[in-house]
Structure 1
Amino acid sequence: MEAIDVITAKRDGGELTRDQIRWVVDAYTRGEVAEEQMAALSMAVVWRGMTRAEVSEWTRAMLDSGQRLDFTGLARPTTDKHSTGGVGDKITLPLTPTVAACGAAVPQLSGRGLGHTGGTLDKLESVPGWRADLTPEQMLEQLVTAGCAVCAAGPDLAPADRKLYALRDVTGTVESIPLIAASIMSKKLAEGTSSLVLDVKVGSGAFMKDAASARELAETMVAIGTDHGVRTRALLTAMDTPLGRRVGNALEVAEAVEVLSGGGPDDVVELTVELAREMLRAAGLSGGTDPADALRDGSAMESWRRMVAAQGGDPDAALPVAAEQRDILSPATGTLTRLDAYAVGFAAWRLGAGRARKEDAVSPGAGVELHAKPGEPVRAGRPLFTLHTDDPARFDRAAEVLADSFSLDGPERRLPLVVDRIG
């Protein structure tokens, strides 16, 4: 085949064949198709879209470019969750051990934060000693002994996606729902889990700003999972306001531990329980222990401690604390009616909690603490936010972002925590 024929077929609105897709993905991964040719094809997909059959085959081609993990020998059914990312989204931390405490095995491959969204691995690396890298053999052993593992994806999982994602990032072709869905699902299917629950965020702090786009992405990913024989469900969840009351790596770990201890913010607890129930239903375990009970009776906490210790972490160690803190005070007394997720995430990034490039380091103690959420009263002169950073020169730029992030006594336009369910 010739790359130009595949490019022009899609450019002109045609449906690519199975052979065309498998050839072009494989040839690109091996370096036979040039970067500029794959960039042209990606742009054609942005403009022309893909059918369900094309997306499914594109995902399969990227999946087949590398290794697949195999957990079929485990005594427990496997299930996993993927979030499209947001602000204060520490749900993986309490969710994974909770689901394990209810009888499932949870192999969770996670990523790092970029820009205003946080990364699960960055959060867990604030736990002293914890390591993200596990071999497939170590991961399997940990699933047997601890029931769950959260770790980084190895370089042999969907290498075609890794190469294509880097290209899309610099060619203006990220915003394609078929390519986004195939990218996410190729990595998730490579995990070898038998069921998958997708948490597709919608709102200012999410990649998908409106419910229609989030629903299209969710439906596309559920279709891919179904076509590949993996029981897949999706929840559309709110990201117009941050999840919980702490945004930043160590701050979010501390909040997750509160949830595992039977406390924590209501929205984090509610979403943890909702997603856990979906995961257990998908795994065929809905008749057993309820996740809310696992949080109350301490079994989820015991599961967390086993998981952290198995990956070299000390669950009893003190978490990092930023060297400097500064309060931002409420300008008036009233009711908080709006708190913009993107602005809070961007402020945390400016304080050092995130990175602009993949190779940047993060400050584990940096972030934003929220003293009120929408619907709650505030008083003039009392703290509305507490900023945490190791570099006090960062305070002013973070405060600039937060100045217009909230409203008092205005109309409330909050999304429900669970917007929709698909699958």
Structure 2
Amino acid sequence: MRIVDLIIKKREGFELNDQEIEFIIQKYVSGEIKDYQMSSFLTTIMFKGMTPKEIGKFTLEMMKSGRIIDLKSIKGIKVDKHSTGGVGDKTTLVVGPIIAALDVPVAKMSGRGLGHTGGTIDKLESIPGFSVALTEQEFIDQVNKIKIAVIGQTDDLVPADKKLYALRDVTGNVSSIPLIASSIMSKKLATGSDAILLDVKCGNGAFMTNVEEARKLASQMITIGKELNRDVRVEITNMSRPMGKSIGNKNEVLEAIRTLKGQGTSDFNELCYSACITILKQAKVTNDEKEAKKMIDEVIKSGKALDKFYEFIETQGGDVQKLKAKDFWNPKYKLDVLAENDGFMEISSALSFGIAASKLGAGRITKEDNIDFEAGIEINKKTNDEVKKGDLLFTLYSSKPIDMQIANELKDSYQINKQKVENKVILDRME
């Protein structure tokens, strides 16, 4: 078997069989298939696409290229939630504890942020002492004990994806939906969960900028789930505007706590409730939306969800007393941005706010960059909030002096209108 023959076969529109796909992945990981050969294959996929059977096998072989976490010893239906990345997206910090408080095991592997999107791991590591470096057995034991654990992605998980993603990035093959779907799903499946909820972000602050493309990606990932006997459901959510009021790390942790106290913003509440309802259906706790919402309300109002959050943080080494202290988030510098006229606020670019937060130090441009956990943005007036001239719109925070240019660069990313605008949070649901 030769890679050149398989490239030609695919280019001429024929379906690759299981043995051929297995050969491609195994020989590429071992180095026998060279980057220039694989880049030709990936470019062929860009133009020819893949059949559902090909995508399923491709994903499975990527998943099998490294260590697979075995969660069979965790009791119950194991659930995981994955977001394709967003601005102000601290959803896991809220959804995880709510679901765990309802006795559903949450076994989650998360990543760090890169570029304008924040990573769940970065937010958690802003809490002094918190560690994502659990062994596999510690991870399993913790989920069995308190129903929730979050760890970082390890180097031996899906090495095929790491090699392929780096190659796609430098050869212009990032935007292939079959390749995106197999990349996401290989990592999710390797972590061993039974049910996966995928939050596919859509808008100018997301990789998928329109709903139709997001639906295509969602459909591919659901198909992969069916091919590999997993319950995969997708919510397509709006990322044209930042989620909630906080963008950063420590300040996003504090917003998550407020939300668990029942004090979240309407858009973030809607996102979290929708995710929890879907997960409770997947975990077979209830199939009734009203009953699911009632259960979520109960664990928030009773304080059980917040208690579970603190238990989770403490179990993974986090200093809860420092987290609860008034000076947990204590940035040295701030810059207020005020309204110049009356009307209704509209934030039109989540991307610009994400980039601004990164420039303040809240994100990283390269993987080697250090994050300033104090840096970030607090939005005081969200889309459709009424605004009077001189009102505080938002505040920039950092541990270093703030360049006024960062605030100036945001001027085209919001406007104050005479009327309110449409502002949907959940754009579609698919299963």
- Give the alignment's TM-score, normalised by structure 2: 0.95
Per the alignment, residue 302 of structure 1 pairs with 307
Q: 1: distance between equivalents of 2:16 and 2:409? A: 45
Per the alignment, residue 330 of structure 1 pairs with 339
Question: Is the CA contact 2:73–2:140 (under 8 Å) kept in the aligned structure 1?
Answer: no
Q: 2:427 aligns with which of 399, 409, 419?
A: 419
Q: 1: distance between equivalents of 2:14 and 2:297? A: 50
Per the alignment, residue 381 of structure 1 pairs with 390
Q: Deviation string for 1:20-63 (max 9, x for gaps)?
A: 11111111111111111111111111121111111111100101
What residue identity is the alignment partner of 2:307? E
Number of equivalent positions: 422
Q: 2: distance between equivalents of 1:323 and 1:6? A: 58
1:401 partnered with 2:419:
no
Q: Where do 1:141-156 residues align within 5 Å?
A: 141-156=141-156
Q: Deviation string for 1:137-187 (max 9, x for gaps)?
A: 110011011211111122222111112112212221111110010000001
Q: Where do 1:11-410 residues align within 5 Å?
A: 11-286=11-286, 290-318=295-323, 319-392=328-401, 394-409=402-417
Q: 2: distance between equivalents of 1:322 and 1:43? A: 46
What residue identity is the alignment partner of 2:60? R
Q: 1: distance between equivalents of 2:93 and 2:321? A: 16
Question: Is the CA contact 2:344–2:419 (under 8 Å) kept in the aligned structure 1?
Answer: no
Deviation at 1:330, TM superposition (A): 1.0
What residue identity is the alignment partner of 1:398? I
Structure 1: any 5+ residue segments left out of the alignment? none
Q: 2: distance between equivalents of 1:294 and 1:395? A: 43
Deviation at 1:365, TM superposition (A): 1.1
Q: 2: distance between equivalents of 1:362 and 1:172? A: 29
Question: Is the CA contact 1:198–1:235 (under 8 Å) kept in the aligned structure 2?
Answer: yes
Deviation at 1:133, TM superposition (A): 1.6
Deviation at 1:8, TM superposition (A): 2.1
Q: Deviation string for 1:201-260 (max 9, x for gaps)?
A: 111111101000011111111111111111111111111111000101111111001111
3-state DSSP class of the match of 2:213? Answer: helix
Deviation at 1:338, TM superposition (A): 3.6
3-state DSSP class of the match of 1:404? Answer: helix
Q: Deviation string for 1:282-305 (max 9, x for gaps)?
A: 111126872222122111111111
Question: Is the CA contact 1:238–1:417 (under 8 Å) kept in the aligned structure 2?
Answer: yes
Question: Is the CA contact 2:249–2:374 (under 8 Å) kept in the aligned structure 1?
Answer: yes
3-state DSSP class of the match of 2:132? Answer: coil
3-state DSSP class of the match of 1:307? Answer: helix
Q: 2: distance between equivalents of 1:187 and 1:412? A: 40
What residue identity is the alignment partner of 1:345? G
Deviation at 1:16, TM superposition (A): 1.8
Moved over 3 A (4+): 410-415
Q: 1: distance between equivalents of 2:321 and 2:297? A: 23
Question: Is the CA contact 2:384–2:421 (under 8 Å) kept in the aligned structure 1?
Answer: no
Q: 2: distance between equivalents of 1:322 and 1:125? A: 17
What residue identity is the alignment partner of 1:369? E
Decide which moves more: 43-52 or 102-111. 43-52
Question: Is the CA contact 2:7–2:44 (under 8 Å) kept in the aligned structure 1?
Answer: yes
Q: 1: distance between equivalents of 2:252 and 2:32? A: 44
Q: Deviation string for 1:369-391 (max 9, x for gaps)?
A: 10111111112122211001122
What residue identity is the alignment partner of 2:17? T
Question: Is the CA contact 1:129–1:312 (under 8 Å) kept in the aligned structure 2?
Answer: yes
3-state DSSP class of the match of 2:321? Answer: coil
Decide which moves more: 409-418 or 273-282. 409-418
Q: Deviation string for 1:92-114 (max 9, x for gaps)?
A: 10111111111110011111111
What residue identity is the alignment partner of 1:253? V
Change (3 A) 1:147 1:369: same
Question: Is the CA contact 2:343–2:388 (under 8 Å) kept in the aligned structure 1?
Answer: yes
Decide which moves more: 77-86 or 292-301. 292-301
3-state DSSP class of the match of 1:134? Answer: coil
Question: Is the CA contact 1:143–1:149 (under 8 Å) kept in the aligned structure 2?
Answer: yes
Structure 2: any 5+ residue segments left out of the alignment? none
Decide which moves more: 247-256 or 261-270. 261-270
Residue identity over aligned pairs, in percent, reads 40
3-state DSSP class of the match of 2:320? Answer: coil
Decide which moves more: 13-22 or 222-231. 13-22
Change (3 A) 1:54 1:415: farther
Deviation at 1:130, TM superposition (A): 0.5
Deviation at 1:413, TM superposition (A): 4.6
3-state DSSP class of the match of 1:206? Answer: coil
Q: 1: distance between equivalents of 2:167 and 2:420? A: 40
What residue identity is the alignment partner of 2:417? D
RMSD: 1.5
Q: Deviation string for 1:45-84 (max 9, x for gaps)?
A: 1121111111111100101111221222222321111111
